[in-house]
Amino acid sequence: MKRHFDYTLLLMTLLLVGLGLTMIYSASAILAKERMHDSLYFLKRELAAVVLGMIGLVVARLLPLKIFQKMVYPFLGVTLVLMLAVFIPSLGSRVGGATRWLRLGPVSLQPSEFAKLALIFFLSYVLSKKKEKIKAFAVGFMPPTVLAGLLIGLVLLGKDLGNGAVMAVTFFALMYVGGARLSFLFSEFLLSLPALYMLIASEGYRRRRILAFLNPWAHEKGAGFQIIQSYVAFHSGNFFGQGLGEGKQKLFYLPEAHTDFIFSVIGEELGLLGTFAIMTLFLIWLFRALRIVVKAPDLFSRYLALGIGTMIGFQAVFNMGVVMGLFPTKGLPLPFISYGGTSMVVSLFCVGILLNISSQGKV
Amino acid sequence: MKEVKAVPGNWEAMTKGNHHERKKRIFSAAGGESFSRERFGVLLAFFAVAFAVLYYRSFHLHVMADQRLEKLTKNQYTTRLDRAAPRGNIYDIRGEALAVTVPTDSLALRPNRVKDQASFIEKLDKVISLSKSEISEKVSSNKKYLWVKRGLSPAESQMLRKDPIEGLELVKEAKRFYPNRELASQILGAVGRDGEGLGGVELYYEDYLRGDADKGLAFRDARGKTLQTDESVDLQEDVSHLYLTLHKGIQYAVETTLEETCKTYQAKTCTSVVMDPRTGAILAMASYPHFNPNQYGDYDLALWKNKAVTDSFEPGSIFKVVLSAAALESGLVKPDDKFFCEQGIYKIGSNAIHDHERYGVLSLREILKFSSNIGTYKVAQKIGKQVFARVIQDFGFGKRMGIDYPGEATGLVRPVGGWQEIDFANIAFGQGIGVTPLQIASAFSTIAAGGVRMKPYLVSKISDANNQPVWEAEPTPIKRVISEGTARQLRAMMKGVTEEGGTGTKASLPGYSVAGKTGTAQKIENGHYNHGKFMSSFVGFIPADQPRLTILVTVDEPQGQIYGGAVAAPAFRKIAWEALRELGVSPTDGPGLPQKRVSPILEASVMPTGVEQALGLAKEAGTRAALSLQASDLLRQKAPVEEPRAVLPHVATGSVSANSVVPDLSGLSMRQVLRRLEQNGLMAKLEGSGLAFEQRPVPGTTTKRGDVCLVSFRPRNE
């Protein structure tokens, strides 16, 4: 039976992607001109990713849901291989000290983006299979925990703390809603604290970022520079912004203007109006995604929808929070908006899955 | 679990069904499902809170004021540095330079070009007279450009030229230089580092003196690309030069005399105005202590004040001249009418007024000569409050004189309706009224010149960058205050003051008759007259019958001597002596002083011996001034600072009776407007400042040459 799918969710997604492309151009044109001698360089690449992502979206929308369930382990396996391949020097590429990218000919992949999806697939599968057994420690709680720990650990080894955090939150959210005992979850959280501390303490820049987060003005020219420049961008945006393309912060002052800090450029150029618009689009998107959770036809797709919604929703909240100084600075793109091919393709593919589920559920 | 087959999620049920039903239906898939509805709700709540926080934070960052952010924004967007705008020169009436523009090197820095801060600081520290911490602060600034030091010494700029340091740039700037240092400093004012007039004539004539601001542009920055304008900017293109009415020689005599007087009597301040009574032109004007505008930063701002214009004081006995003028002008009193002076004490209600000596019957002439308070009051009573008040007003007291100088004070004249009898008496002999030295000088000039009050002015001529005159001042009569006859009678009476037996004999000068009046006013402190603090003054004009000079000297809080006749009159005489020679005025009454010119400092040895002896032996000829114990509410008040406006009343042109077409003046500067109108043989009446935006008649109108064109200006960037 042919069903309708959630048009609103698709509309929100397309609006966010469209706004994202506009802002990527605005934020990157001058940088691209200077570095690549082509002001459209980043826009073109992102556009290619959007095209690819839209194909993925349609595919994910049309595939039978059962196939996803069958693909869980093969997908997990491929992801693990990619994650490990990053550490092979001839394949992995280091950017800014972080080993996150896998170079394959002209394209480079960010396996940690796949890892996020693999984690959701796997947890959805496990939770839908084990059901009440999840409350048991050895048979229910441990297996998903171990595998999630492995995936997150690999992501963190690639120095991708941002995605690691998103995965951890998604893991806790799924396990929590999936019925895992609070005592287990809490103990696990406590156990992860020393590891978190080690992570922060082991890298000087992370410690500085934490300090800068606590008091950016004391580190105005060092670690606090980026966040203060982000404040400056928001502040000069005021109610209606400096006008599209009129922002100055992206020129010299705001590192990562077209990637992780694109929200700040939106704030400067489109003002309060722009940031409220983006936040509202995300809010509606999230509401629709969680509505799909409620209406999902079976447990697997319900957990799948929950995982995707939580992951993208939390990542949006986290990115905007970082840019506005509510969290310490982490490298993490704003879904649908920031420049980043893998993230875009995976995100759009996820939307395709959500639309697929929405078409199966009861209207 | 009735509806086992039901699709687990049911949105309608969730929204419409009752709570119980919902709980059963939703999430109730087969077989011990673990998906927790409550926990899902918690997750929703988490997101709701997170978004609420994001909305709030975004609002806060965008809209709430944050000074730190605003300052940072302003600093890091600074993409240009303005170098000091070129300025026109200021000359005295004979073209002697008072303020000139000299080229200087300034040092600018682009911190982001400095690779190694430590070695930069080390290198620059060796060259420049700045501390390491100052250099360090500048190099770690978040500004894109900033000045390191304005106005380098020749040695500094030479070293930097020889060994350039990465990140630093030498920029040629215009710098104001005052070759005569303190001379006329309070009239000239000073110029700030960016070439902006900060006070005095420099400020009042800012629009004329200052060149095109864009010519001063040092750097421009477009998206990180830096350009430097070419070094060889003409530093005096498009400026006007000012010619003041001052005579440098007279000004010099005034300032040295004031300094000497101030030091001799350990006075707080000495002030003087020298005016041409026929025109209102200020020939010299100064206060001591003064300041050096080349290093204005080292001086207290109070020393910038041209107290002759900006401060008011209680004139004391010199004001008796104004009462006498009113008396004679009213026709109710003749110079030789007699008044009984009550033997030194006279009761007015519960108060009493006193004379310093017990006078009996005195004529008006004698009252002025001996400076009797009681006699003055008797005269005042005869003419009445209204007549006196009107004459006070006609002389211009209580209002600005309209001199082309910023911050002129009005003085303080209480409305006549509120005068009690004791107030009337006090004002008659100059207490309970506030006047500026300029107003007094103007009043005496009015009497000297035959009764017509002239508007005082400081600028005689404005010329363009090529030194072609574009505007020349014309004396401006304000109004006739007293008749010729009254003026003549007053002059004769005031001559008596400096003659044998008068209070101002020390002002007399061989060869010239002097008309004047002494004043010694007790100062008010905290609402009461202080018996130890006086304002001593002498005002007069010379030669008495054909006056060329009006000279006022006030000495604030002299120690030892207090009487105006003893303290201020000798200063008057010295200034007069030098000024008459400067102007080449021949003696009018018998042989004068030796014509040998001793300049610029008056040496005691060249003073005629008679005068020299008189200086040493003079008896206390001064008159004890009014000592009413009635506390007056009048204190030396602060002058309200008026916004400087360059308003020129009219322009002298060689008007020929032929037709002329009114040119389009919109968008032109005042200077350009004057030039254009002059070319077209039209007179200008200018309003406001900045650029022309409105004119009458409209462009293209055919008018007669010599007609007036009214042009309104408004500030640039409006």
The pLDDT tens digits for B620-648 are 233 333 322 233 333 333 333 333 333 33
A248 touches chain B (CB under 8 A): yes
Chain A residues in contact with B69 by the CB 8 A cut-off are 228, 231-232, 235
Quote the pLDDT of residue B381: 93
CB–CB of A248 and B224 under 8 A?
no
Using CB atoms, pick whichever of B9, B44, B63 lies closest to residue A239.
Answer: B63
A293 contacts chain B (CB < 8 A): yes
State residue B276's pLDDT score: 96
Which of these, B295, B294, B296, B234, lies nearest to B86 by C-alpha position? B234
Whether A235 contacts chain B with CB within 8 A: yes
Does residue B317 have an active-site annotation? Answer: yes
Mean pLDDT of B21-31: 43
Residues of A in contact with B9 (CB under 8 A): 293-296, 302, 361-362
Instruction: Determine contact: A255 vs chain B, CB below 8 A.
Output: no
Residue A31 CA to residue B637 CA, distance in Å, equals 62
Nearest to A330 by CA among A191, A217, A223: A223
Superfamily of domain B90-244, CATH level 4: Penicillin-binding protein 2a (Domain 2) (3.90.1310.10)
- pLDDT exceeds cutoff 80 at B713: no
B650-679 mean pLDDT: 66
CB contact under 8 A, A303 and B40: no
- Which of the listed ranges A10-14, B234-238, B293-297 does the model predict with the highest average pLDDT? A10-14
Residue scoring higher pLDDT (B656 or B66)? B66
**Helix or strand holding residue B227 (H, E):** strand B225-228
- Domain of residue A59, residue span: 7-360
Q: Please, is B663 exposed, middle or buried when counting C-beta atoms within 10 Å of its C-beta (0-12, 13-18, 19+)?
A: middle
Residue identified by tokens 């003046």 is: B665
**Residue in A4, A281, A299 to test binding to B, most B beta-carbons within 10 Å:** A299
Write the residue in B40, B55, B140 that is nearest to A177 by C-beta.
B40
Nearest by CB to residue A221, choosing from B54, B58, B140, is: B140
Q: What is the CATH number of domain B659-714?
A: 3.30.10.20
Residue A42 falls within a domain, yes or no?
Answer: yes
The domain limits of chain B are 11-62, 90-244, 248-289+308-617, 659-714
Is the minimum CB–CB distance between A228 and chain B shorter than 8 Å? yes
Longest dimension (CA), chain A: 62
Tell me if chain A has a CB within 8 Å of the CB of B8: yes
pLDDT digits (tens, 9 = 90+) for B308-333: 999 999 999 999 999 999 999 999 99
Q: What is the pLDDT of residue B551?
A: 97
Contact call for B62 and A324, based on CB within 8 A: no
pLDDT in tens, B451-480: 999 999 999 999 988 888 889 999 999 999
Whether residue A362 and residue B9 make contact (CB cut-off 8 A), yes or no, is: yes
- Residue A122 located in a structural domain: yes
Residue A264 lies in a domain: yes
**Alpha carbons A305 and A357: distance in angstroms, whole number:** 8
pLDDT in tens, A98-141: 656 777 766 778 888 899 999 999 999 999 988 777 778 778 88
- Buried (b) or exposed (e) across B422-458, using 16+ Cβ within 10 A? bbbbbbbbbbbbbbbbbbbbbbbbbbbbbbbbbbbbb
Comparing B706 with A350, the larger pLDDT belongs to A350
Nearest residue on chain B to A296, alpha-carbon basis:
B9
- If you average pLDDT over each of A44-48, A160-164, B695-699, B704-708, which comes out highest? A44-48
Q: What is the total residue count of chain A?
A: 363
Using a CB-CB distance cutoff of 8 angstroms, which residues of chain A are in contact with residue B33? 131-132, 299
Q: Per residue in A269-322, pLDDT tens? A: 999 999 999 999 999 999 999 999 999 989 999 999 999 999 999 999 999 999
CA-nearest of B347, B348, B379, B377 to B363 is B379
A2 in any annotated domain: no
Contact A132 B33 (CB under 8 A): yes
B382's torsion region: left (phi>0), alpha (psi -120 to 50) or beta?
A: alpha
Domain contains A1:
no
Out of B28, B317, B371, B669, pick the active-site residue: B317
CB < 8 Å from A in window 47-76 of B? 47, 50-51, 53-55, 57-59, 61-63, 66, 68-70, 72-73, 76
Would you state the pLDDT for residue B77?
63
Confirm whether A245 is domain-assigned. Answer: yes
Architecture of domain B248-289+308-617: 3-Layer(aba) Sandwich (3.40)
Inter-residue contact A55 to A66 (CB < 8 Å): no
| B612 band by pLDDT with thresholds 50, 70 and 90 | very low
| Number of compact structural domains in chain A | 1
Of B39, B53, B62, the CB nearest to A235: B62
CA-nearest residue to A230 within chain B is B61
Q: Identify the band that residue A362 occupies on the pLDDT scale cut at 50, 70 and 90.
A: low
Flag whether A59 is in a domain.
Answer: yes
Instruction: Give A-chain residues touching B50 at CB under 8 angstroms.
Output: 317, 321
The sheet with strand B708-714 has its strands ordered as: B683-687, B708-714, B691-696
Q: Does A297 touch chain B (CB under 8 A)?
A: yes
CB crowding A83-93: b at 16 or more within 10 Å, else e: bebbeeeebbe
pLDDT at B340: 92
Q: How far is Cα of residue B266 from the mean position of the Cα atoms in its chain?
A: 26
pLDDT of residue B234: 53
Helix (H) or strand (E) holding B583: helix B564-583
Q: Select the residue of A30, A271, A302 nearest B35 (Cβ to Cβ).
A: A302
Dist CA A72 CA A303 (whole Å): 13
| C-alpha distances in Å from residue B707, one per residue of A167, B474, B531, B647, B702 | 86, 17, 59, 18, 10
- Inter-axis angle of helices B373-383 and B385-394, nearest 10: 100
What ipTM was reported for this prediction?
0.94
On average, the pLDDT of chain A sits at 87
Beta carbons of B430 and B315 less than 8 angstroms apart? yes
> Does residue B144 have a pLDDT over 80?
no
CA gap A333, A343 in Å, rounded: 8
Is pLDDT of A249 > 60?
A: yes
Q: What is the pLDDT of residue A337?
A: 95
